[in-house]
Structure 1
Amino acid sequence: MTGKQHLTGKVEALEGTKILCVGDVMLDRYVYGDVERISPEAPIPVLRVKDERSMLGGAGNVARNLAALGAHVAFASVVGADEVGEEIERMLGNVPHLQASLVVEPLRRSTVKTRFVAMGQQVLRADHETSAALTSAAQTEFIDRVRGLVPDVQVVVLSDYGKGVLTPEVCRAIIDVARAAGVPVVVDPKGRDYSLYRGASVVTPNRKELAEATGENASGDEAIVALARKLIGEAGIDAMIVTRSQEGMSVVMASGEVAHLPAEAREVFDVSGAGDTVISTLAASLAGGLSLVEAASLANTAAGIVVGKVGTAVVYLDELAAKLRENELSSIESKVATLQAAQDVAASWRARGLTVGFTNGCFDLLHPGHVALLAQSRALCDRLIVGLNSDASVSRLKGPTRPVQPDIARATVLASLASVDLVVIFEEDTPENLIRSLRPDVLIKGGDYTVETIVGADFVQSHGGKVAIIDLVPGFSTTKTVEKLSR
């Protein structure tokens, strides 16, 4: 095998790993809109808001990434007794395979970062936060909780965003108990004093953080290695992985081994949260039994995926496997996506200013009527997503003898059409949930419908989208074709 193909079979080892993630949790809010004029009150742009979204950020995004990779996550952090803290707790409760242990500090303000985005570009970020260290009482309670979680996991992740949760005392206590239990500790650092992480297995600064921690210029392979070795020796760390943006990443071990991995991103759209993806993939890979260089290689691949997405996004296990197999996958196969992956793709299209269209159907035996419908649908938008009823869904709607073709075959045929940009299979009888998840700009339906009778039309219109009805080409019917074949 060449390149990274030898890692393809190891990706499945990430699923089911047990990881403890500890650090500063926060809420990331995104406000999307258009800027069409300057305010008469001051020389500033006026953002006409079209959409708002919230997601877990900071250590919460690390936990999301771990869960997306199939890991079972124990999560520990501190929030304030406020609405943001309550929202964070609710969102953590919706992450699969994640058990959260949150300490509530009454006088603490939960961190929320609000980004205002126009035409794919951030125009402003507003932060509400506190960076004060934990109170003595909260710190004691927090350490006690985390100590009880360490024996049940394979790797501990410390995600330090400098918001006061990972105090020197907390870091020391966690690393000591983990090392005593033989559990590796992976750290995403903050600040200049890496002695806080003494005894850690791996620390993952970016190039800027490495330069700040050493007070020296971190440019070029030789300088990166020299500075990493300096910190490894001074801080008593086993290894360091330095992320270097477009130059990839460098793995430097206390044993002397060095590996430089080139960057893999083909298109960079948003780098926020990329470090979270790196450390989560690294941790899950180490828990899955991969070597440090193999784990770093997978993390590098994951980073190349996530920077092509919008906001604090995650990388799913199937995306990572597909990326490693991309030389084997045809362009047709790559157009068939899970709902989670489709949400990320649709968000990135919209952020680029592209309109996203959606239509759906069983598409059992594809005929010229279907082809015409899809071509006309694509003409109404920049990118077209097709929702495809699963086999079970088709059977409920059409009867026990249908479908004629299994869903993966139907999806493959649809994906072969130039008019179709993405295919998502759904299990429900209607695409209501799919439409709400993908939030298309244009909802398209063929046949004798009115807007009021189209599933999802009211939702699409409620956020400024359009609904289009296309006349079907007469004389074509899958049901009639099947009846003819059965005679």
Structure 2
Amino acid sequence: MIPDSQLAELVGRLADVRVLAVGDVMLDRFVYGAVERISPEAPVPVLRIEREQAMLGGVGNVVRNLRAQAASVCLVALLGRDEAAREIKGLLRADDDIESHLHEEDDRPTTIKTRYIAGGQQMLRADRERAHAVATVLEEEIIARAEADLGQAQALVLSDYGKGVLTERVVRRMIAAARPSAIPVIVDPKGNDYGRYGGATLVTPNRRELTEATGLPTGSDSEVVAAAAALIERTGIEAVLVTRSQDGMTLLRSEALASPLHLPATAREVYDVSGAGDTVVATVAAALAAGIDLESACRLANAAAGIVVGKIGTATASSAELAAVFRARELETGEAKTVTLEDALTHVSAWRGKGLTVGFTNGCFDLLHPGHISLLRQSKAQCDRLIVGINSDASVRRLKGEGRPIQNDASRALVLGSLASVDLVVIFGEDTPIDVIEALRPDLLVKGADYANKEVVGADVVRAHGGRVMLAVLEDGHSTTATIARATTGR
């Protein structure tokens, strides 16, 4: 099993893939409000509506999660001819990295799921839908369109919500089309007959769905494993990933029936499980498309699910959030200080609301030495709060060559976070911190005095909004490169 720091690095590979997603698309509506009284007409709460939100649901939520991880997507789905369909098309048009092929059927209303939420809890869900198998002519059109797009994809997702798009014929044709090119097929299943998913790389039932499909109990670890093994033996599916809510996930592979992988749940607080299964499917699909092994893909998916259930609504898990989860697991003393750029922006906003000044400095900080400590102390002396940006492992390798860094980014962040002079640590994957500086807009930018003003990355950005650049006095005789050289030569 690879360490969490390596999983954090794997997250970046999800951005380089293309996934074909076929299935039931729908519109998820969320109506938020407050409940302050009971209706005089009936013993029901009165929801005073404050705001409404609409987003892609069903296979559309798989697409949203893939895009949150920066993967590109081709979507093949079916809509009615109605206002909800037009709304879905508008949402899809907003992202150029989604190629959508949406077929339409006159007598099929576009599925809408409306959730009413107050106090962070769902009060009611109302569904508008009509589930029936797609007409034969449209069935052929969907198959032809999906088969044409399969050649450009590194993974295929079949998102089956039982609304009629993924008929047995569509499913079997798509799996058969993917197998000759060894394209992984990930199925979010529905119904009791999993035989039609035979040949799929992975199916992702929840515990209830696994019981319905096998007729076997799934209360304990051993029962889940037995039911998943029975499903594999009956259907010819290569692997089963069982999502088990508060009990995490269980992976069972056909070639290793005696070696199940149990992954504990990672969420600290659960607010809403809506769409968590879509997050799992999307993350596994992107990972397999990137050539990541199935066990690591499932570990990534488990962490992503833990992120989204801590949010309200059918949420997504971004690449930055996912990488941060694995980096945080390796951090102890400094883990609370190591944050994503998004979280850093939240801190900066709060600090500025209190009238505090924000400073920023950056580097590889591979082997922390007295020169680094001096730089950080000088930086903190000139501001109220100091944020340190550090290059990710991949970035350090590009800048310093193979053999560097000596310590991985999680370890480097841990050491920096343990220093009183450092308030936050942000890990960035680019060669320079310009994107971080542009986002944070620090009041103070600090580099060592060996940088001339014109060479300091981001200096123009900081000065443009009234900030200043400081060149810190360097401690003589201290350099990471020189330290490593001395250690390797004995001089």
TM-score between the two structures when normalised by the length of structure 1? 0.71
Within 5 Å, give how 1:321-332 maps onto structure 2.
321-326=323-328, 327-328=330-331, 330-332=335-337
Cα gap change, 1:387 to 1:48, in 2 (>3 Å): farther
Within 5 Å, give how 1:44-443 maps onto structure 2.
44-256=44-256, 257-326=259-328, 327-328=330-331, 330-334=335-339, 336-337=341-342, 372-373=354-355, 409=387, 416=423
Deviations 1:412-464 (A, max 9, x none): 999949xxxxxx9796999xxxxxxxxxxxxxxxxxxxxxxxxxxxxxxxxxx
| 2:10 is the alignment partner of 1:5 | no
1:21–1:157 CA contact under 8 A, matched in 2? yes
2:117–2:123 CA contact under 8 A, matched in 1? yes
Where does residue 489 of structure 2 map in the other structure?
A: none
2:16–2:71 CA contact under 8 A, matched in 1? yes
* Stretch moving more, 271-280 or 133-142: 133-142
Amino acid at match of 2:339: S
- In 2, the alpha carbon distance for the partners of 1:388 and 1:206 equals 47
- In 2, the alpha carbon distance for the partners of 1:373 and 1:51 equals 32
2:31–2:114 CA contact under 8 A, matched in 1? yes
Secondary structure at 2:27 match in 1: strand
- In 2, the alpha carbon distance for the partners of 1:13 and 1:218 equals 34
Deviations 1:1-40 (A, max 9, x none): 9752332222222111111011111111111111111222
- In 1, the alpha carbon distance for the partners of 2:19 and 2:467 equals 54
- In 1, the alpha carbon distance for the partners of 2:100 and 2:186 equals 19
* Displacement after TM superposition at 1:359 (Å): 9.3
Identical aligned pairs, as a percentage?
A: 46
Secondary structure at 2:151 match in 1: helix
Deviations 1:147-178 (A, max 9, x none): 10111111100111111111111111111111
Cα gap change, 1:46 to 1:176, in 2 (>3 Å): same
2:358–2:386 CA contact under 8 A, matched in 1? no
Deviations 1:28-67 (A, max 9, x none): 1111111111222222111111111111111100011011
Secondary structure at 2:225 match in 1: helix
* Displacement after TM superposition at 1:229 (Å): 1.1
Deviations 1:270-318 (A, max 9, x none): 1111111111111111111111111111111111111111110001111
Secondary structure at 1:331 match in 2: helix
Cα gap change, 1:372 to 1:258, in 2 (>3 Å): closer
1:245–1:263 CA contact under 8 A, matched in 2? yes
1:67–1:96 CA contact under 8 A, matched in 2? no
- In 2, the alpha carbon distance for the partners of 1:95 and 1:280 equals 17
Deviations 1:93-130 (A, max 9, x none): 22352111110112210011111111111111111111
Secondary structure at 2:177 match in 1: helix
- In 1, the alpha carbon distance for the partners of 2:290 and 2:468 equals 50
Amino acid at match of 1:100: S
Alignment gaps of 5+ in structure 1: 343-357, 364-369, 375-385, 390-403, 418-423, 431-477, 483-487
Deviations 1:340-398 (A, max 9, x none): x97xxxxxxxxxxxxxxx9969x9xxxxxx67446xxxxxxxxxxx9999xxxxxxxxx
* Stretch moving more, 107-116 or 174-183: 174-183
- In 1, the alpha carbon distance for the partners of 2:468 and 2:319 equals 39
Amino acid at match of 1:29: R
2:387–2:422 CA contact under 8 A, matched in 1? no
* Stretch moving more, 91-100 or 41-50: 91-100
- In 1, the alpha carbon distance for the partners of 2:123 and 2:115 equals 8
Where does residue 378 of structure 1 map in the other structure?
A: none
Q: What count of residue pairs does the alignment treat as equivalent? A: 384
* Displacement after TM superposition at 1:226 (Å): 1.2
Secondary structure at 2:16 match in 1: coil
* Displacement after TM superposition at 1:182 (Å): 2.2
Where does residue 41 of structure 2 map in the other structure?
A: 41
* Displacement after TM superposition at 1:258 (Å): 2.1
Amino acid at match of 2:40: P
TM-score between the two structures when normalised by the length of structure 2? 0.71
Cα gap change, 1:479 to 1:59, in 2 (>3 Å): closer
Amino acid at match of 2:209: E
Where does residue 17 of structure 1 map in the other structure?
A: 17
Deviations 1:165-219 (A, max 9, x none): 1111111111111113321111010111101211111111111110111112112
1:338–1:425 CA contact under 8 A, matched in 2? no
Secondary structure at 2:199 match in 1: coil
Amino acid at match of 1:172: R
1:360–1:387 CA contact under 8 A, matched in 2? no
- Superposition RMSD in Å: 3.5
Secondary structure at 2:306 match in 1: helix
Cα gap change, 1:233 to 1:36, in 2 (>3 Å): same
Alignment gaps of 5+ in structure 2: 361-381, 390-416, 425-434, 442-464, 470-491
Secondary structure at 1:231 match in 2: helix
